[in-house]
């Protein structure tokens, strides 16, 4: 066992109850680990298990070297014994207490004389100085979220759990709060678990992302790796990635392979070995696709050229959603976004012939 995992969070959990959960994970101190997945995937149950609020479990939870749960040794600490800070989805502030008292109630383990000073300092840290005497219902959504975060940190926890902390506020506030969390985390040297169903949020804040589905971890990876090398078509679909196809392996070389994609040859840079004739799934992520007008070719070799027809063009703000139907297989369209200014400059329109270039290094075989 490495020192890093000893001094972070380490959990191996199997549910013995109705809700499926089978998870092994670790999160180092100072790291933000995002848990993403569709609703019902077990994200919140996982958080509640770590906090001691869900106990139909086998396995263990160890945080900063101390066992919170160890079903073999019959250890199962109560929530109040675990030193967890948690921000609930709807914040769960104590509605009868003002902001400062909400913090003070989470500090019962500290000497009475220290509490007031520390609580005031914490209010300052989350930019809430001056609002100490407001009741929760007198605060805006964003302010409530800050109180909830301050309360979670006020107990000086060994683990911070954030359950969709930005879902209950408007878009503008959400961006500001995310930025504040990104800044605040540098001062917090504990593992942070962030549950979200918002992929952008996970990409912006997390060091690593866990993809959950039906209570199981499908992949744990850095945001970049996850988007470029999802481990399975299921993960790719959960991430909202499109353009997942199948193909047959035609040639295997040292650092690439050639696929037959319904009659079109696709070369993919890949060092993993595959057998000749094997049926595989592959994906063309957004960054792998280049669109060109056949009558205005770009100088140089085109990688994996695919001729097709532009069958759909939908302007969505600064981006345009594009669907291209390949000539060799009209039933397998590719969908991706291109900037609006490119559409305008190239005078693209529905029904025109286009050619795509799929960059071998950005394509991915599962």
Partner 1 sequence: MDWQALKVSLELAFWTSFFLFPIGIFVGRALAVRQLPFRPVIQSLIFLPLVLPPTVLGYYFLVAIAPDALLGSGWFWLTGRPLAFTFEGLLIVSLIANLPFAIQPVQNSFAAIDSDVRDAARVCGLNFWQALWKVELPLAWPGLLSAFLLTFTHTLGEFGVVLMVGGNLEGETRTLSIAIYDEVQALNMTAAGQMSLLLLVLAFVSLLLVQWKTQRFADKGQR
Q: Which residues bind partner 1 (CB under 8 A)?
A: 48, 51-53, 78-80, 82-86, 88-90, 92-96, 105-109, 135, 137, 151, 155
Least distance in Å: CB of 136 to partner 1?
Answer: 9
Residue that has been written with the tokens 């291109």 in this structure: 338
Least distance in Å: CB of 14 to partner 1?
Answer: 22
Least distance in Å: CB of 231 to partner 1?
Answer: 33
CA distance 104 to 110: 10
CB 194 within 8 A of CB 162: yes
Which residue, 89 or 281, is less far from partner 1 as judged by CB?
Answer: 89
Least distance in Å: CB of 148 to partner 1?
Answer: 9
CA distance 199 to 190: 23
Which residue, 91 or 336, is less far from partner 1 as judged by CB?
Answer: 91
CA distance 241 to 229: 11
Which residue, 105 or 250, is less far from partner 1 as judged by CB?
Answer: 105
Which residue, 92 or 221, is less far from partner 1 as judged by CB?
Answer: 92
Give first-to-last CA distance, the chain, whole Å: 30
Which residue, 105 or 203, is less far from partner 1 as judged by CB?
Answer: 105
Which residue, 108 or 287, is less far from partner 1 as judged by CB?
Answer: 108
CA distance 98 to 104: 10
Least distance in Å: CB of 202 to partner 1?
Answer: 22
b/e per residue 114-141 (b: at least 16 CB within 10 A): ebeeebbebbebbebeebbebebeebeb
Which residue, 97 or 203, is less far from partner 1 as judged by CB?
Answer: 97
Give one DSSP letter per residue of 85-123, joined into a string.
Answer: EEEBTTB---TTS-HHHHHHHTTTTS-HHHHHHHHHHHH
Least distance in Å: CB of 264 to partner 1?
Answer: 53
Structure tokens at 243: 């353009």
Least distance in Å: CB of 99 to partner 1?
Answer: 14
Least distance in Å: CB of 49 to partner 1?
Answer: 12
CA distance 315 to 323: 12
Least Cα distance to 188 among 8, 1, 62 occurs for: 8
Which residue, 75 or 135, is less far from partner 1 as judged by CB?
Answer: 135
Query: Which of 326-334's residues contact partners 24+ apart within 8 Å by CB, and which partners?
Result: 326/264, 326/356, 328/262, 328/263, 328/264, 329/261, 329/262, 329/263, 329/264, 332/245, 332/261, 332/262, 334/242, 334/243, 334/284, 334/289, 334/306, 334/308
Least Cα distance to 336 among 316, 320, 317, 351 occurs for: 320
296 contacts: CB under 8 Å, gap ≥ 6? 346
Which residue, 139 or 354, is less far from partner 1 as judged by CB?
Answer: 139
């Amino acid at each position: 066992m490495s020192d890093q995992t000893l001094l972070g969070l380490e959990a191996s959990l199997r549910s013995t109850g109705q809700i499926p959960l089978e998870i092994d994970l670790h999160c180092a101190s100072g790291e933000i680990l995002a848990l993403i997945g569709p609703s019902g995937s077990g994200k919140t149950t996982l958080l509640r298990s770590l906090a001691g609020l869900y106990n139909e479990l086998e396995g263990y939870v160890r945080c900063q070297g101390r066992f919170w749960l160890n079903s073999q040794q019959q250890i199962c600490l109560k929530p109040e014994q675990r030193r967890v800070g948690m921000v609930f989805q709807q914040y769960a502030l104590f509605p009868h207490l003002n902001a400062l008292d909400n913090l003070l109630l989470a500090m019962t383990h500290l000497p009475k004389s220290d509490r007031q000073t520390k609580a005031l300092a914490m209010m300052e840290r989350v930019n809430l100085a001056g609002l100490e005497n407001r009741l929760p219902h007198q605060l805006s959504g964003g302010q409530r979220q800050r109180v909830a975060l301050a309360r979670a940190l006020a107990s000086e926890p060994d683990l911070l759990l954030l359950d969709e902390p930005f879902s209950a506020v408007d878009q503008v506030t959400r961006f500001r709060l995310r930025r504040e969390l990104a800044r605040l985390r540098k001062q917090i040297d504990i593992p942070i678990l962030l549950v979200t169903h918002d992929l952008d949020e996970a990409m912006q804040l997390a060091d690593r992302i866990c993809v959950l589905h039906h209570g199981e971890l499908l992949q744990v990876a850095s945001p970049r790796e996850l988007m470029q090398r999802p481990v399975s078509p299921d993960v790719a679909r959960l991430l909202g990635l499109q353009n997942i196809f199948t193909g047959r392996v035609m040639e295997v070389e040292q650092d690439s392979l050639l696929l037959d994609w319904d009659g079109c040859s696709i070369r993919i840079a890949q060092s993993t070995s595959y057998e000749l004739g094997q049926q595989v799934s592959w994906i063309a992520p957004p960054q792998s696709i280049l669109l060109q007008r056949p009558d205005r070719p770009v100088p140089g070799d085109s990688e994996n050229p695919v001729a097709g027809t532009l069958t759909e063009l939908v302007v969505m703000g600064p981006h345009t959603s594009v669907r291209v139907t390949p000539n060799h297989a009209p039933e397998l369209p590719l969908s991706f976004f291109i900037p609006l200014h490119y559409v305008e400059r190239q005078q693209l329109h529905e029904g025109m012939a286009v050619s795509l270039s799929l960059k071998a290094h950005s394509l991915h075989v599962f």
